[in-house]
Amino acid sequence: MTSPKYQRILLKLSGEVLMGGQNFGIDPLYVARLAEEVKAAKETGLEMCLVIGGGNIFRGISGAAKGLDRTTGDYMGMLATVMNALAMQNALEQLGVETRVQSAIPMASICEPYIRRRAERHLEKGRIVIFAAGTGNPFFTTDTGAALRAAEMNCDALLKGTSVDGVYDRDPKLFPKANRFDTISYGRVLADDLKVMDATAVALCRENAIPIVVFSIRERGNLARVLTGQGVQTVVNSDE
- Which amino acid is present at 203? A
Domain ranges of the chain: 8-237
β-strands 183-185, 212-216 pairing = unpaired
By the 8 A CB rule, do 86 and 111 touch? yes
pLDDT digits (tens, 9 = 90+) for 107-135: 999 999 999 999 999 999 999 999 999 99
Average pLDDT, the chain: 92
The pLDDT tens digits of the residues spanning 172-195 come to: 888 888 999 999 999 999 999 998
Sorting pLDDT into bands at 50, 70 and 90, what band is 4? Answer: low
Instruction: Give the tens place of pLDDT for each residue, 32-58.
Output: 999 999 999 999 899 999 999 999 998
Question: Which residues, at least 6 apart from 195, have a Cβ–Cβ distance to it below 8 Å?
Answer: none
213-234 pLDDT, tens digit per residue, is 999 998 888 898 898 888 889 9
For domain 8-237, give the fold. Carbamate kinase (3.40.1160)
Give the separation between CA 230 and CA 168, rounded to whole angstroms.
19
CB neighbours of 98 closer than 8 A, spacing ≥ 6?
A: 125, 126, 127, 128
- Residue pair 85/46 in contact by the 8 Å Cβ criterion: no
Output the pLDDT for position 129: 98
Q: How far is CA 91 from CA 83, 97, 116, in A?
A: 13, 9, 24
- Helix H segments across the chain? 28-42, 60-65, 70-94, 116-124, 142-152, 186-191, 199-207, 222-227
The rounded distance, in Å, linking the Cα atoms of 42 and 115 is 22
